[in-house]
Amino acid sequence: MAAAAALARLEQKQPRARGPTSQESIRSQVRKELQAEATVSGSPEAPGTNPVPKPKEEGSTHLAVPGVYFTCPLTGAILRKDQRDACIREAILSHFSTDPVAASIMKIHTFNKDRDRVKLGVDTIARYLDNIHLHPDEEKYRKIKLQNKVFQERINCLEGTHEFFEAIGFQKVLLPIPDQEGPEEFYVLSEAALAQPQSLEQHKEQLLRAEPVRATLARQRRVFRPSPLASQFDLPADFFSLTAEELKREQRLRSEAVERLSVLRTKAMREREEQREMRKYTYTLLRVRFPDGCLLQGTFYARERVAALYAFVREALLIDWLPFELLALGGQKLLEDENLAFNECGLVPSALLTFSWDAAVLADIRAAGAQPDSSVLKPELLSAIKKL
C-alpha cells in the first residue's frame, strides 16, 4: 500500500518522458508486482504471509491470549517473563534442605550465565574427583588448596561450587604449610565420603550431565468454537521482541523508508526484508482449524520447529496414532519431519492452519464405506470449549 501511494505521488510530481526510461520501467514493474500480489492474496498484504497484528495494550479484553507465560520445572508455578529468574532461584535455594547435592549442581549450572566458564569449572572439579577415584590411597589428592591459582580462577568464581564440595563430603580445614609462617585453608575429603567412592563417581557424572534450569514456555492450550474471527489475532506486547513504543517507531521509520525506496525495490529485496521482519518476533500464536470448525490454539517460540506443532496437535487428538497433515494459508503443506522453524515458514507472530487427515488414510476410510468423524478432539478438551 505504501509503495502504491509513493508511485501515485511520483507520477503526479514527475511528468512522463516521451520515451520509456529505466526509472519508468522500474515503476511499471513495481506496479505489476503490487497488482499481482493484491490479486493473489485478495488483500493488500503480500502473498503467503500473515497480516501482522499490532501489539495491544496489556489488560485489553479482546486479546487472543492474555500474555506469554512460563512454567517453573521445579514447582509447576505459572510465571510471567519477568518472574522466571527470581522464581527459579528461590526454588533452587529451597531445594538445599532436601537434596543439597542436586541443589548445588543446579545452582552451578543455572546461576552462572557464562557457559564456557561453567564448563571449565565443572571439568576441573571432575578432574579433582577422578584423581581421588584413581588414587584412593594418596592423601594429596584428597586435599584442595583454596588459594591455588587454578581453584581461584576456575572454581571459586562460580556460584554454587563451594556448596557442591561441602555437599559431597569435603570440609574446610586450616593446615600448616612447610616453610610458611601461617596455615592455609584447604578442602579435605572426609573419611566417610572416601569410604563411598561410588557416590563420588555418581555425583561427578551428575555434575557433568546437568543443564541449566529453565522455565518452559506454557502452551496455554485453548479450544474455541467455530468462528469467523479465526484468522484475527490481537496479540499482547509480550509477543514482540521490541516494546510497543519501539515497535511503533520502527513501523513509522519503515513506512517512510518504503515510500522513499519502493520504486527501486524488487520482489527479492522485499522477501529479504520480510525475513528480517520475522526475526523481530520471539513468540508466535498458532491456531489449527479442524474439520468441524473447532479451533485449537497454542503459544510457541518463533524459532521452534514445525514438529513441535505436530506434537501439540497430536496430544489433543482422540485418535492420536493416525497420520495427519497441517496446511498453512494458500494450501502450503507443513511437513512434520522438515527441519524448519515457524519464522522460516512465515508463521509469526500468528497464523491459522488447517487440519486434515492424511490423504491415504481418508482413501482407506472411504473405501471401507465409512466417513471420517468430523469431531477429532478429546472430549475433555471439548468440554472446556470457549467462544472466540
Residue 369 confidence (pLDDT): 83
pLDDT at 49: 45
- The stretch 284-306 carries a mean pLDDT of 95
Amino acid residing at 46: A
> Is the pLDDT confidence value at 14 over 60?
no
Predicted confidence band of residue 46 (pLDDT cuts 50, 70, 90): very low
* Confidence bin at 40 (pLDDT 50/70/90): very low
Residue 188 above 80 pLDDT?
yes
> Is a pLDDT exceeding 70 seen at residue 96?
yes
Q: Please state the pTM of the whole predicted model.
A: 0.71
Q: DSSP letter string over 263-316?
A: GG--HHHHHHHHHHHHTTBSEEEEEEE-TTS-EEEEEEETTSBHHHHHHHHHHH
Tell me how far apart the alpha carbons of residues 170 and 165 are, in angstroms, rounded to a whole number: 5
Q: What is the pLDDT of residue 106?
A: 98
Confidence of residue 364 (pLDDT cuts 50, 70, 90): confident
The CATH number, out of the four listed (1.10.3720.10, 3.30.450.20, 1.20.58.2190, 1.10.1200.10), of the domain defined by the range 69-209? 1.20.58.2190
225 pLDDT band, cuts 50/70/90, is very high
> What's the CATH class of domain 222-247+278-384?
alpha beta
Q: Are 69-209 and 222-247+278-384 the same fold in CATH?
A: no
Which of 23-32, 188-197, 237-246 reaches the highest mean pLDDT? 188-197
CB 272 within 8 A of CB 201: no
Average of per-residue pLDDT across 52-58: 58
Checking if the pLDDT of 16 tops 60, the result is: no
Tens-digit pLDDT profile for residues 343-353: 888 899 999 99
- Res. 43 pLDDT band, cuts 50 70 90: very low
Separation between Cα atoms, residue 336 and residue 316, nearest integer Å: 16
The answer to whether 148 and 205 have CB atoms below 8 angstroms apart is no
> What would the pLDDT profile of 302-361 be if each residue is shown by its tens digit?
999 999 999 999 999 998 888 999 999 888 889 888 788 998 888 999 999 999 988 888
Average pLDDT, the chain: 83
Beta strand pairing call for 78-80 and 170-175? unpaired
**Taking 80 as the threshold, does the pLDDT of residue 74 lie above it?**
yes
* pLDDT digit string, tens, across residues 160-182: 999 999 999 999 999 998 888 88
The pairing of strands 69-71 and 216-217 is antiparallel
pLDDT-above-70 percentage for the chain: 74
Which has the higher per-residue pLDDT, 243 or 126?
126
- Where are the domains positioned within the chain? 69-209, 222-247+278-384
b/e map of 299-317 (b: 16 or more CB within 10 Å)?
A: bbbbebbbebbbebbeebb
Please give the average per-residue pLDDT across 140-154, as a whole number.
94
